[in-house]
């Protein structure tokens, strides 16, 4: 077998979903909602089931999907995006990120990754032959040290991966932080690959700034996102990359040979989401704000120390007081004996961190209350 395979494990996030299923635990590990997608999208899916399409779409995305997507991304990025040359539709942002890295990086070239990080980036860089340079986001605020970041840039990386809002720590990068990254990207001629799947889940008063919208940055940014979290359709595997034509031309070739294309019936059903009014996004944020409050208030009353996410739908819990030395073992016990699936924090950190676990709160209120109830019995 390829040597690459021994360089990373299977995804711990997705493994925890399987373990949760084994023990019939409440799955707060892999982040996905347990509520229905918006009704208009479901109604449209029912129509598509009968009327099609059921055959391949154009490799880089069905025309109507790309047209609607370009309009929506133009609004968000504050510039006109051309559906025919600046977009590629992918199988989730998972493929988008892999394609983005493979489009830019030659074997042996370096990529900056902030730690903690979404675990796919580690495997993505190894699979594309890149070498990660990790830069710490330091708890409790998950700020980076500007000098440490510049030192990483001095190693002449090809790209920096920016997960904003960040999974797992819930950090929303401030405009000032992004501007600093932009200055370095310019100075060291580095690309930026963003993963902005939680772009619409940013808690007030925090504000999401698209890196590609900063002056001069569109040219060097590959903006990756997906419909999974925004329209609660994680299983549909619909994502996309937006970037200048010269980059997208390369990305489309890689995407073509990796997957041929994202599911055509699902594109035909989901594209109407891009036409939703602002009210939809306000409601989505209100829903997640409410769920965040349920979980965080509950953890406070249990006296469990936790992060306070500025965005996304994850919270990191400090499990030091439970007396385990191994977060993996803690999560196994939590799933088996308490009935809650969680992700061990160590799977997100380059640093040796074993006192954190990650829970997500994209769940029905009653399920969140039940999880809190179970946690109380563990104490």
Q: How far is the CB of 236 from ligand GLN (least distance, A)?
A: 12
Q: Can residue 310 be called a binding residue for ligand GLN (CB under 6 A)?
A: no
When the beta carbons of 167 and 267 are compared against ligand GLN, the nearer one is: 167
Q: Under a CB-based contact definition with an 8 Å cutoff, are residues 343 and 332 in contact?
A: no
Q: Which residue is nearest to ligand GLN (CB)?
A: 31
In whole angstroms, give the CA distance from residue 358 to residue 118.
12
Q: Can residue 356 be called a binding residue for ligand GLN (CB under 6 A)?
A: no
The alpha carbon of 57 is separated from its chain's Cα centroid by a whole number of angstroms, namely 25
Q: Can residue 167 be called a binding residue for ligand GLN (CB under 6 A)?
A: yes
Q: Under a CB-based contact definition with an 8 Å cutoff, are residues 80 and 101 in contact?
A: no
**SS3 at position 144:** coil
List residues bridging with 341 in a β-sheet: 27
Q: Can residue 13 be called a binding residue for ligand GLN (CB under 6 A)?
A: yes
When the beta carbons of 13 and 96 are compared against ligand GLN, the nearer one is: 13
Q: How far is the CB of 183 from ligand GLN (least distance, A)?
A: 29
Task: Provide the residue count of the chain.
Answer: 379
**SS3 at position 306:** strand
Q: Can residue 94 be called a binding residue for ligand GLN (CB under 6 A)?
A: yes
Q: Can residue 307 be called a binding residue for ligand GLN (CB under 6 A)?
A: no
When the beta carbons of 13 and 135 are compared against ligand GLN, the nearer one is: 13
Chain residues 114-133 in contact with ligand GLN, contact rule CB under 6 A: 118
Q: How far apart are the first and last CA of the chain?
A: 45
For ligand GLN, the binding residue among 20, 27, 30, 223 (CB under 6 A) is 30
Q: How far is the CB of 216 from ligand GLN (least distance, A)?
A: 30
Q: How far is the CB of 9 from ligand GLN (least distance, A)?
A: 14
In whole angstroms, give the CA distance from residue 329 to residue 347.
13
Provide Rg for the chain, Cα atoms. Answer: 20
Q: Can residue 26 be called a binding residue for ligand GLN (CB under 6 A)?
A: no
- 373 Cβ neighbours under 8 A, 6+ residues apart: none
Q: Can residue 14 be called a binding residue for ligand GLN (CB under 6 A)?
A: yes
For ligand GLN, the binding residue among 20, 26, 31, 328 (CB under 6 A) is 31
- 176 Cβ neighbours under 8 A, 6+ residues apart: none
Chain contacts with ligand GLN (rule: CB under 6 A): 13-14, 30-31, 94, 118, 167
């Amino acid at each position: 077998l390829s040597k690459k395979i021994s360089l990373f494990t299977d995804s711990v996030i997705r493994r925890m979903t399987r373990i949760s299923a084994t023990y019939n635990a409440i799955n707060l590990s892999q982040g996905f909602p347990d509520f229905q997608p918006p009704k208009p999208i479901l109604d449209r899916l029912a129509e598509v089931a009968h009327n099609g399409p059921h055959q391949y779409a154009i490799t880089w995305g069905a025309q109507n999907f790309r047209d609607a997507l370009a309009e929506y991304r133009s609004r968000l990025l504050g510039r006109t995006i051309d559906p025919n040359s600046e977009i590629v539709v992918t199988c989730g942002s998972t493929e988008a990120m892999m394609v983005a890295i493979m489009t830019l990086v030659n074997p042996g070239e370096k990529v900056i990754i902030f730690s903690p990080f979404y675990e796919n980036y580690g495997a993505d860089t190894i699979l594309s032959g890149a070498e990660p340079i990790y830069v710490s986001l330091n708890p409790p605020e998950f700020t980076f040290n500007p000098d440490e970041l510049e030192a990483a840039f001095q190693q002449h990386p090809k790209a920096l991966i920016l997960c904003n809002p960040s999974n797992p720590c819930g950090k929303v990068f401030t405009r000032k932080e992004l501007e600093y990254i932009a200055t370095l990207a310019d100075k060291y001629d580095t690309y930026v690959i963003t993963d902005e799947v939680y772009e619409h889940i940013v808690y007030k008063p925090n504000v999401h700034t698209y890196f590609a919208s900063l002056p001069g940055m569109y040219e060097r940014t590959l903006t990756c996102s997906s419909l999974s979290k925004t329209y609660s359709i994680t299983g549909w595997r619909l994502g996309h990359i937006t970037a200048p034509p010269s980059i997208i031309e390369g990305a489309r070739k890689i995407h073509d040979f990796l997957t041929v294309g994202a599911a055509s019936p699902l594109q035909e059903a989901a594209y109407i989401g891009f036409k939703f009014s602002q009210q939809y996004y306000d409601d989505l944020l209100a829903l997640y704000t409410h769920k965040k409050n349920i979980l965080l208030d509950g953890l406070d009353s249990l006296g469990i120390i936790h992060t306070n996410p500025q965005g996304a739908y994850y919270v990191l819990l400090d499990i030091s007081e439970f007396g385990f030395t191994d977060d993996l073992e803690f999560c196994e016990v939590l799933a088996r004996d308490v009935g809650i699936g969680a992700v061990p924090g160590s799977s997100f950190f380059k640093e040796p961190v074993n006192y954190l676990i990650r829970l997500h709160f994209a769940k029905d209120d009653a399920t969140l209350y039940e999880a809190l109830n179970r946690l109380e019995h563990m104490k």
